[in-house]
């Protein structure tokens, strides 16, 4: 393998630093080329392609011929918009999910309208646990009760009141927890998926650090697919939803040995 030395006087960036620079470059320019970035960072074009693959998988960039562009924001509603829809269903899901958490446990909770409802139930129940989250509303909800809260660092997304990015992922990787509670933009036979930029990487990391994993999802999102895949169905111990899915998805859950918990 041929290694390309960094330009004279230039310090070789770490992988995470290089990927942060790529995202910064896309905030300044609508399109960046692989060859240009390879020259700039003093690495091979294959290294930049791997960076692009990683960032694209997490929904942080859009791949284009010979380069990449900034992700196009679709019509997926913001956290505030989602928080005012199907409130009864999400309250039921959140309450049922909160009952899974036991005193003394460590729990990772990601950002979302349904996980906020779960945090409210945890606070109401007075569950004594430690929560690690990238969600500012979850942290605020639990920060005044019996729960110890650790809020992740990272890039702040105002529309989601959440932290994302490499710093968030690195922080989460420091911990091993009893369980994680995550949401998703959609759920299909391929597994959950995510539309919000950077959320898929957070969810995948939480799944990898947890003994038990639970997906909290409104049935309105059944059979939907977001931009970035989160993980396969078999990675989850249970799915908490407000009603049963149709036969195709129900059969996929059964085959993956995922328990379906209907919120009451």
Q: What is the pLDDT of residue 259?
A: 97
Structure tokens at 55: 């960032």
Give, in degrees to the nearest 5, the angle at Cα 244 between 86 and 98. Answer: 60
pLDDT in tens, 55-87: 776 667 777 667 877 665 544 455 666 666 678
- Indicate the pLDDT class of residue 225, thresholds 50, 70 and 90: confident
Question: What's the predicted TM-score (pTM) here?
Answer: 0.73
**C-alpha distances out from residue 141 to 61, 63, 113, 117, 234, Å:** 32, 38, 13, 9, 31
Residue 101's Cα: distance from chain center in Å? Answer: 20
Q: What is the pLDDT of residue 1?
A: 33
pLDDT in tens, 207-220: 999 999 999 999 98
What whole-number percentage of the chain has pLDDT above 90? 57
**C-alpha distances out from residue 87 to 49, 161, 230, 258, Å:** 42, 19, 24, 25
Q: Which of 83-87, 130-134, 181-185, 253-257 has the lowest mean pLDDT?
A: 83-87
Residue 9 has pLDDT above 90, yes or no: no
Residue 8 has pLDDT above 50, yes or no: no
Q: What is the pLDDT of residue 66?
A: 75
Residue 142 has pLDDT above 60, yes or no: yes
Residue 102 has pLDDT above 70, yes or no: yes
Residue 113 has pLDDT above 60, yes or no: yes
Whole-angstrom distance, CA of residue 110 vs CA of residue 21? 25
């Amino acid at each position: 393998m041929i290694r390309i030395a960094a330009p004279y006087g230039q310090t070789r960036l770490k992988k995470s630093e290089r990927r942060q620079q790529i995202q910064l470059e896309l905030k300044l320019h609508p399109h960046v080329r692989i060859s240009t970035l390879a020259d700039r960072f003093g690495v091979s074009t294959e290294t930049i392609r791997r960076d692009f693959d990683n960032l694209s998988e997490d929904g942080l960039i859009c791949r284009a011929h010979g380069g990449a562009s900034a992700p196009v924001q679709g019509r997926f509603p913001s956290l505030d918009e989602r928080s005012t829809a199907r409130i009864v269903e999400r309250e039921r899901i959140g309450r049922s999910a909160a009952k899974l958490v036991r005193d003394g446990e460590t729990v990772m909770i990601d950002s979302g309208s349904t996980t906020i409802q779960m945090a409210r139930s945890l606070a109401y129940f007075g569950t004594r646990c430690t929560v690690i989250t990238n969600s500012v509303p979850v942290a605020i909800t639990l920060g005044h009760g019996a729960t110890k809260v650790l809020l992740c660092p990272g890039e702040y997304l105002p529309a989601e009141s959440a932290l994302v990015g490499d710093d968030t992922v690195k922080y989460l990787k420091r911990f091993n927890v009893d369980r994680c509670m995550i949401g998703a933009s959609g759920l299909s036979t391929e597994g959950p998926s995510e539309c919000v930029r950077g959320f898929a990487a957070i969810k995948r990391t939480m799944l990898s650090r947890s003994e038990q994993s639970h997906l909290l999802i409104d049935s309105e999102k059944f059979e939907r697919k977001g931009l970035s895949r989160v993980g396969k169905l078999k990675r989850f111990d249970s799915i908490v939803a407000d009603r049963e899915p149709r036969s195709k998805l129900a059969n996929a859950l059964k085959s993956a040995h995922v328990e379906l918990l209907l919120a009451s």
